[in-house]
Structure 1
């Protein structure tokens, strides 16, 4: 049972032989033995060290990928550990371990093992220090409390979101009380969104601002952490009209080009296909409808909407191949210049330009870096698809944005790339894809089969990550991707490029029609796949330990060589077992106490009917349920008054009586105390008096202010809280109220 605050819980051995009395000869031998330092011999003959040395030598240990993994491990430990003294102790321990590895190299035969210890220790310590420094330098302290007032600030960014009937502005405003500038993000309804509300305009407005929200319940999206690293002090909505104090300069730069390109594409292609085409051309996803986004997600095709590896690789590959073929038509140049080197430079410029045009988001920059490394390898005649190249790209991204490690985009992208490279570098796959004398049909069939197998491997690699972050995953994604990836890569994107080029002379309309047809087919595949029975797998919150087993097993399978790589299946099997045994929370309580979800008879009972989908969707996802929830007033087993509701839940062979507050009106204290005494759990979005003493848990505003949202598991008589995973990191406001694990 978890522990709760008081107000909530009622050298030598007996069998050793006797020492022998030494004689003079023995003393002389002992003196010689001391000069030979027998502890060094024991260290050198250590069975663990020898085994590690032999294993590293026999398996062709490549340090580069494991150094990248160690860097990731150091960054992740900073997020997992609670406070600065633990981070400092970790960095110090890594330094001592590196010193020990250096001594192994200098004074023993464990050269490879010592080098591995030094490299891994330094990478782990550097990763911890890197993310700590990043947090300290760019982290933005949140507003202390919600507030409504007038602000004046300069527009930094403008994001179009017509599918949500709004635009989003990022501004730098002056805080008169703090005497410093703050970066905020506000939503502006479309009816108030003028064209002059763009970058570098100075505006005055009245807005309601909120501190960035922490996870609503354990396992939910942590916007407070994201806002901390993005520099947002608050988010909110504008109230009334926006006054233009200083007009913006004429639109210039990539932002203006991106906005023009997005509008131009949507004007040429109608409907949902136009919104997808605009995303491919400019990276603008703001016009994609929620229904289309959900269908693409449940069909396993969301990666096609994010400008990342597939799109950047297609652009770079097209530029590389076209330039190589065209330059080869010039004999004078072909005889004097290495054409692959020139084509690689042209492909790199095309990829960088496309990355900048589409917003230079982290996934795009990461993909561009990896693709440029592949071009460099091609130009130098090296193996282009290697795990070492993937490791270099990962380190490059983490040096710039170490916080991206804990986001789903980084994890999913690199998991997919590692799976692809490891699969295609396996000897059976190389033999299967090796050139041979065969007909066209057999050649295409082998490639199609390999594409399907690759899709299946990617789906298996991504499934734990998707379930951990989103609590749902498409089951038929591999089948959908067999058609969707070639469709986008070889038809839709080339057609978009050709149509944009032909628009310069007014001849692009027929090609735009073909673009619309191809993207309508893509959306049709997404909606058809997502609507099939069993197409979506729902899962309650997966534990971090379970995800760690999958990650460790997958990395071992991908990065190790020889038969020892098969040991990676052991943690994967253990993770699969834990995943199947993941319990569904019996009760979910939001951090403010206003929203409560109770899992009963495969239905979710909600305390309040939320006016927005945010609370409902979070509770449904974390409970691993689909369908429409039921409000507690409509549940037959509940009894409600104007101020409170009670419901009885059977778990573990006993009845649990739950009392939940519905209003903030004053209640007679004696009656409340009597009701609390009869209840096991009391939940309220206000402070309750000390006389309210339930039998197990009192989750009122005082307690929730320290713990954050809660997930209750009644049969095990335990709960998890948001605070348990936050520690003393800057974005967690509960640390100011004494929240501890």
Structure 2
């Protein structure tokens, strides 16, 4: 047997799993597109399209020949290239104007979304914009504004047209090179400007009546208000969050407790909620129909129950706002109940693959979001684990123990599968998350969600308060568990942000272990362990500079020391979290690392001296510092810097964005956000 035939034979064993590998290959192409330093251009896109078509044709031809395994490989390559095309097409279709300057003045628009900012301020997303002195063709399609100060003149409702005087600017880039790029997220949300107001926002016109997204958002708000009215306190805010997706009234303390106990997923309307709701509707209706004498003999009550449960899931999807996790969950239950309708096995990896393909084809940018990654990691691991247990021929727990064992297994598997992604995105690990989930998830499934369905059924009769009143107590139990578990000593650990290759390697290793057959699954350990090894050896930059020039952070013996105790607070928070050291900014500013008076700071980076100048007279002091410092950072524009002075002032930082300083072979290297983000449509370079 020739080597080519041997390779083809090995690959042919996987040919029957092409559907399972399809979203992996498509996702690889999507990820490759977002990692590009620049857009391919028309010539590049034509070449990718041609290569994808040729690979698909070659794959189809080989699949019918003696080297069918190589056909599987060619089809996989075609899907990777298709991922590039899908992501590029999506980027172009989401193109919308971005505000090109800092704006202060009247802002008028229609409210389409209400949430809260990181500082806990009410935040409005507006469309149908009107800005003074901005031409219609340059108007952002959507604007997001945080409401600060006294705001007693407006009770925002989706659909209302509001006006205010606000500061606006284009969405900002990462606070450090390689960090989260809000500009990309804003691009796909068509948000062309963000800002804030300290003046009262005013109602211009009430929302128009009708159907569509605004009507659904208005219904969500009415339901959320009714739920909070029937259930007082934090439990009511929790109930509103899990029924409508409205977290606006959740306190920062409760959110912190839920995150610290690894119960924050209970707030996200995702697979758990969708599965519990549709599963309860399906089971309850099936049993109810079975009670009708002779009905089960005449009609397929199982299929009737599946159709009604699917409709309940569709309504829940619309009500929740339709985030990626909810969409994935709805596609999953759609496939599951579709299988019931055609008398097939409901829960398989194929259902997960179809859900992933559907989302990647419609919203390829979801691949980069933690919700997508954690949701599919948990679902894939659970389906694979329970599939293996279904075929298990060893010891079986007694019937009375099957429920607790199943809960323990599902919580453990889901927790292990999502832990690397949660740690990478949120820089924390909940050490007692399994305990909290074992205490809270059964209550969520057996009491909270059934009572929520009952409340919805009683609402037309005006009796929903009865079910909501009972719903209060299990929710209070969940919140009590969150507070107690998160308050335990050592409940929360912190980890540094991983490098760019860590999560892809971990994901590939996990997928190989699930999708490969036989002993080949063990090969997944190679990228998995390599990814964790890279994470363990990650080195954070020796120094970081905010894009405004107003803050510098230098790594020292006590952790990162900051040049100021206040100002550029968001950058400071992100830097410290990414270091795995989330202390308060004033604590980091008190650490050893900087010398000198406020506004005239000095720090050593190896043999090099860095000067950080802010405040009144900073330009003159920056020029004077050129004679002693190897690198000068100024928060103002410095005119006519001496030749040979290595200076980053406000004007230069506006072009480069935030900086990371790295010491290599005794040389101080500067890495900028502009260099790492590349020339992409959302960076403002390739528009």
TM-score of the pair, normalised by structure 2 = 0.90
Q: How far, CA to CA, are the matches of 1:162 and 1:133 in structure 2?
A: 32
For 1:599, the equivalent position in structure 2 comes to 555
Matched, 1:541 2:497: yes
For 2:369, the equivalent position in structure 1 comes to 407
In 2, are the aligned partners of 1:141 and 1:731 still within 8 Å (CA)? no
In 2, are the aligned partners of 1:467 and 1:542 still within 8 Å (CA)? no
Q: How far, CA to CA, are the matches of 1:549 and 1:169 in structure 2?
A: 36
SS in 2 for 1:714: strand
In 1, are the aligned partners of 2:618 and 2:636 still within 8 Å (CA)? no
Cα displacement (A) at 1:508: 5.8
Matched, 1:51 2:2: no
CA change 1:209–1:494 in 2 (3 A) is: same
Once the two structures are superposed, the pairs formed by residues 275-674 of structure 1 within 5 Å of their partners are 275-426=237-388, 430-431=392-393, 442-499=398-455, 501=457, 511-610=467-566, 613-630=569-586, 634-635=590-591, 638-641=594-597, 643-649=599-605, 654-663=606-615, 665=617, 667-668=619-620, 672=622
Cα displacement (A) at 1:284: 0.8
Pick which of 73-82 and 701-710 moved more: 701-710
For 1:712, the equivalent position in structure 2 comes to 661
In 2, are the aligned partners of 1:59 and 1:560 still within 8 Å (CA)? yes
SS in 2 for 1:682: strand
In 2, are the aligned partners of 1:160 and 1:166 still within 8 Å (CA)? yes
For 1:179, the equivalent position in structure 2 comes to 136
Structure with the bigger RCO (C-alpha within 8 Å, sep 6+) is 1
Pick which of 353-362 and 404-413 moved more: 353-362
Matched, 1:676 2:626: yes
| Structure 1: segments with no counterpart, 5+ residues | 1-44, 737-741
In 2, are the aligned partners of 1:705 and 1:734 still within 8 Å (CA)? no
Which one has a bigger Cα radius of gyration? 1
In 1, are the aligned partners of 2:110 and 2:159 still within 8 Å (CA)? yes
CA change 1:111–1:512 in 2 (3 A) is: closer
Q: How far, CA to CA, are the matches of 2:507 and 2:357 in structure 1?
A: 18
Map Cα deviations across residues 486-524 of structure 1 (whole Å, 9 max, x no partner): 111111222333345556666666654442222222122
Cα displacement (A) at 1:147: 0.8
For 2:183, the equivalent position in structure 1 comes to 224
For 1:109, the equivalent position in structure 2 comes to 66
Aligned-pair RMSD on alpha carbons? 3.0
In 1, are the aligned partners of 2:257 and 2:486 still within 8 Å (CA)? yes
For 1:22, the equivalent position in structure 2 comes to none
Matched, 1:723 2:674: yes
CA change 1:664–1:65 in 2 (3 A) is: farther
In 2, are the aligned partners of 1:633 and 1:639 still within 8 Å (CA)? no
In 2, are the aligned partners of 1:540 and 1:621 still within 8 Å (CA)? yes
TM-score of the pair, normalised by structure 1 = 0.84
In 2, are the aligned partners of 1:496 and 1:512 still within 8 Å (CA)? yes
In 2, are the aligned partners of 1:592 and 1:701 still within 8 Å (CA)? yes
SS in 1 for 2:681: coil
In 2, are the aligned partners of 1:602 and 1:625 still within 8 Å (CA)? no
Q: How far, CA to CA, are the matches of 1:157 and 1:643 in structure 2?
A: 40
SS in 2 for 1:573: helix
SS in 2 for 1:240: coil
Map Cα deviations across residues 238-257 of structure 1 (whole Å, 9 max, x no partner): 35344544333358732222
For 1:63, the equivalent position in structure 2 comes to 18
Cα displacement (A) at 1:226: 1.0
Q: How far, CA to CA, are the matches of 2:123 and 2:624 in structure 1?
A: 51
Matched, 1:73 2:32: no
For 1:4, the equivalent position in structure 2 comes to none
CA change 1:534–1:203 in 2 (3 A) is: closer
Map Cα deviations across residues 289-329 of structure 1 (whole Å, 9 max, x no partner): 11211221122111110111111111110111111111122
SS in 2 for 1:627: coil
SS in 1 for 2:632: strand
For 1:42, the equivalent position in structure 2 comes to none
Q: How far, CA to CA, are the matches of 2:417 and 2:68 in structure 1?
A: 34
In 2, are the aligned partners of 1:673 and 1:692 still within 8 Å (CA)? no
Map Cα deviations across residues 195-249 of structure 1 (whole Å, 9 max, x no partner): 6743444444322112111111134432211111111110122353445443333
Matched, 1:94 2:52: yes
Cα displacement (A) at 1:432: 5.5
In 2, are the aligned partners of 1:500 and 1:508 still within 8 Å (CA)? yes
SS in 2 for 1:430: coil
CA change 1:429–1:606 in 2 (3 A) is: farther
Q: How far, CA to CA, are the matches of 2:641 and 2:154 in structure 1?
A: 56
CA change 1:199–1:271 in 2 (3 A) is: closer
Q: How far, CA to CA, are the matches of 1:224 and 1:545 in structure 2?
A: 22
Q: How far, CA to CA, are the matches of 2:656 and 2:567 in structure 1?
A: 25
Pick which of 49-58 and 414-423 moved more: 49-58
CA change 1:692–1:502 in 2 (3 A) is: farther
| Structure 2: segments with no counterpart, 5+ residues | none
CA change 1:157–1:590 in 2 (3 A) is: same
Matched, 1:118 2:77: no
CA change 1:516–1:105 in 2 (3 A) is: closer
Pick which of 215-224 and 685-694 moved more: 685-694
In 2, are the aligned partners of 1:658 and 1:680 still within 8 Å (CA)? yes
Matched, 1:82 2:37: yes
Q: How far, CA to CA, are the matches of 1:368 and 1:403 in structure 2?
A: 19
CA change 1:433–1:387 in 2 (3 A) is: farther
Pick which of 307-316 and 720-729 moved more: 720-729
Cα displacement (A) at 1:174: 3.5
Q: How far, CA to CA, are the matches of 1:144 and 1:246 in structure 2?
A: 29
CA change 1:91–1:608 in 2 (3 A) is: farther
In 2, are the aligned partners of 1:167 and 1:190 still within 8 Å (CA)? no
Matched, 1:234 2:193: yes
In 1, are the aligned partners of 2:270 and 2:329 still within 8 Å (CA)? yes
Q: How far, CA to CA, are the matches of 1:640 and 1:337 in structure 2?
A: 83
SS in 2 for 1:187: strand
In 1, are the aligned partners of 2:573 and 2:585 still within 8 Å (CA)? no
Cα displacement (A) at 1:368: 0.8
